[in-house]
Chains A and B, each alone.
Chain A
């Protein structure tokens, strides 16, 4: 029974290559979230909504950060959903040293914590600051830009759910065009948020020429954890912008949280890239490109674009144009490298 041909090689794990873990994968290549020993930085019993993307994004990022520094870190938190659902007095879900001050000053507090650590001779203690898009792109923006300008040794993570969700879904400067919020209702000539250029904080951060800027989503854990780990092993100001789905604010099904984050990437609306010292160094290629409709249709905040017999073709096309511009700008199509 001799039979020998050489045709195919085992390239990777065809069985669930992109899953959180994989019994076929080497232990050290598995994601932090697959580990039975992960920190669970935000433990059970927190009061986030069903299917909260921010609860996921924060745990993914902080667990990876905890692993990369052996737990020697402090996290500073701006006001927002994340702070409210984890720490209603007198409980806490945090299993890490955690400080909350005000809505707008998380970067300044983190800068202070880093300085204090240095002064106490504990410079190896890593400092992370985190906030939502409101606390980052609007209210805390001045503090953040100052922190970048001084190149303070802090990793800032923004969990972007594209509006002020904690106080009842009000528009922020990260709210996408045409999206309905409590303050940009779907009425009148140009329903939803104005079709402006938006405030693209990763690009603004890059303009500060800080050591590291990256974007990530809750849909690709290997990617997110790699970026957090990379940032944790650098010093100076670092910024990671994580897109987190908000079922309540977006009007999406609670089980679509990861799916929507994935579609945001695959449509080109949310490009995944890394920049060092102001220049893009790596991009995550789109695996299977989808039209923006696939992403928009699953969310009630865009429902007015898809009214029966009155589909808003022009605005959908304008959103598609945004996605295509991202694809061009970051060169998102082409061969994807193994994670």
Chain B
């Protein structure tokens, strides 16, 4: 400005827009996407917050498509996943977590009713990948490899696909029509499935059949056994076989009138509840520690008790003599370990079912050069999920990890991404993780009080007599309600708060779907936008940093 201004005046007569008050600032607000705790803990790496965002608007198909980017089985997942997402959910600190699993299950049902299919865009690569085992991990890997453009063949030793989802999880938790539908949707993407075909020779698959990579996920199907002195041998079965027989046998397994299930894991609960449904008079759990230390999820034990399963905590089985089972009382020492007390009891039982865990059948891998099998029977893999044999990857229950369906599905995805990179001569670089959206980043004031919607449970009498699904699903109204309980932790949901409350009009609204940006010419750095952002998508940073 060269012309003269009136006395003591620094600016031209004009609007205050000439006055760039942003120069007052010492801290600046920045928009960011923080990592919601649900996404952070999901073993399948689902972008839960993102699909809930679409579900909140009633755009269920888009929500389904977002799930399908990470997990091809929302219907299965909404039923059998132990939902670590809900344990981590920030809303749990406010009232109750969002019932994510119930919404996912609803989306799975919508996809079934509307016949939605995942959208694939990658061009075919011409690379051939063999997947050994059609369980959750194998199916997931096959799906993701197909999604990335590869030719995929699954070889399954058993007569049906599904693995432990079919042979380990009872129908009352996972109806088979849901499982069949979601497996078929994976196969419909162009995955070849060969049943009753046990892979014995991995090298032959590489050398003779021209597979460029192999992913093995054969699970852990061998029941762990222990020696129990048996004078006149009673009937002793293992849990995996009983559950498997439920699927494959023509007749249900004969268990007698009184059954003891030995173990405290989820499989023990499943078997005890299955026995009850098969009409035994008494189904009992015997476990050496107390309910507090049992590995089963609490809801499984509660549901089992509701159905009339009897619990004998702090008991070990010492001896079996015909139908007399001798158990010893235990107590928990200061290290949390069960110790014998020398007191004994006798329980009558026609059948004893062992539910003590499972081992991996690794015999077919022992001859593959480079493959390392640890002492406990699991296969060693590197960070890329590859074994010591180049191009041979492994995942699911046969590698060291928690043995759940969701972990298996996550392994499948991770393996697929690494196999894809390996086939292209690269290394898969996982995207950098954003900082966690903690409860402290949330401003709960802006959310309405909304108690969690409850899934209805089947009447206990009907639960004791049949294999009908125990938990009911949500209606559309309920699912929408529940989706809208999401706090959208760390991710802008366009609530206009920053735009509305900035004293300096320094927030620019970019229109639906485009969020906002700061006009730093006028932002004085008061920090109100960051504190009043309901979901914690704004952070204050030092000016100049």
Contacts and interface: CB of A to CB of B under 8 A. Distances in A.
Interface of A: 1, 3-24, 30-31, 33-34, 36, 40, 42-48, 50-53, 55-56, 59, 86, 89-93, 218, 221, 247, 253-259, 262
User: Which of A22, A34, A45, A52 counts the most chain B CB atoms within 10 A?
Assistant: A45
A44 B17 contact: yes
Contacts of A7: 453-454, 456, 474-475, 478
B545 to A, nearest CB: 18
Given A1-B177, A3-B109, A13-B484, A48 B503 contact: yes
A45 B22 CA distance: 8
A21 B500 contact: yes
Nearest to A55: B503
Given A45-B522, A262-B445, A34 B500 contact: yes
Contacts of B511: 36
Contact of A24 (B445, B484, B499, B505): B484
Interface in B493-535: 493-497, 499-501, 503-506, 509, 511-512, 519, 521-522, 524-528, 530-532, 534-535
A229 to B, nearest CB: 16
B495 A20 contact: yes
A14 B481 contact: yes
B13 to A, nearest CB: 3
A333 B473 CA distance: 37
A44 to B, nearest CB: 4
B522 A44 contact: yes
B30 interface: no
A56 B503 contact: yes
A5 B448 CA distance: 23
Contact of A16 (B75, B181, B453, B493): B493
Contact of B527 (A48, A51, A89, A262): A51
B447 A43 contact: no
Nearest to B503: A55
Contacts of B233: none
A232 B181 CA distance: 60
A22 to B, nearest CB: 5
A158 to B, nearest CB: 18
Contacts of B499: 20-21, 33-34
User: Which of A51, A52, A247 counts the most chain B CB atoms within 10 A?
Assistant: A51
A131 B6 CA distance: 29
Contacts of B484: 10, 13-15, 24
A255 B526 contact: yes
Given A14-B448, A24-B57, A93-B16, A56 B527 contact: no
Interface residues of B, number: 77
A22 B509 CA distance: 13
Contact of B472 (A5, A255, A256, A257): A5
Given A21-B500, A22-B496, A255-B531, A8 B453 contact: yes
Given A16-B446, A33-B501, A262-B445, A6 B495 contact: no
Interface string B181-225: 100000000000000000000000000000000000000000000
B33 interface: no
Contacts of A6: 475, 477-478
Contact of B19 (A40, A55, A91): A91
A3 B108 CA distance: 12
Lowest 3 A-B CB distances belong to which pairs? A21-B496, A20-B500, A3-B473
B501 A258 contact: yes
A22 B112 CA distance: 31
B12 interface: yes
B488 interface: yes
Nearest to A93: B16
A50 B526 contact: yes
A15 to B, nearest CB: 5
B524 to A, nearest CB: 5
Nearest to A31: B500
Given A20-B501, A50-B24, A90-B12, A15 B486 contact: yes
B482 A8 contact: yes
B450 A1 contact: no
Interface in B393-447: 445-447
Nearest to B25: A50
B377 interface: no
B446 A17 contact: yes
Given A45-B17, A257-B528, A56 B501 contact: yes
A90 B13 contact: yes
Contacts of B487: 15
A261 to B, nearest CB: 11
A254 to B, nearest CB: 4
B390 interface: no
B332 interface: no
Interface string B1-45: 000001001011111111111001000000000000000000000
Given A15-B493, A17-B448, A8 B501 contact: no
Nearest to A23: B494
7 contacts: A7-B456, A14-B481, A16-B535, A17-B448, A19-B496, A45-B20, A89-B9
A298 B538 CA distance: 22
Nearest to A13: B484
A159 to B, nearest CB: 13
User: Which of A36, A44, A255 counts the most chain B CB atoms within 10 A?
Assistant: A44
B229 to A, nearest CB: 48
Contacts of A23: 57, 493-495, 512
B125 interface: no
A256 B474 contact: no
User: Which of A11, A12, A16 counts the most chain B CB atoms within 10 A?
Assistant: A16
A13 B75 CA distance: 26
User: Which of A7, A9, A253 counts the most chain B CB atoms within 10 A?
Assistant: A7
Nearest to A87: B16
Given A17-B446, A55-B504, A86-B16, A91 B496 contact: no
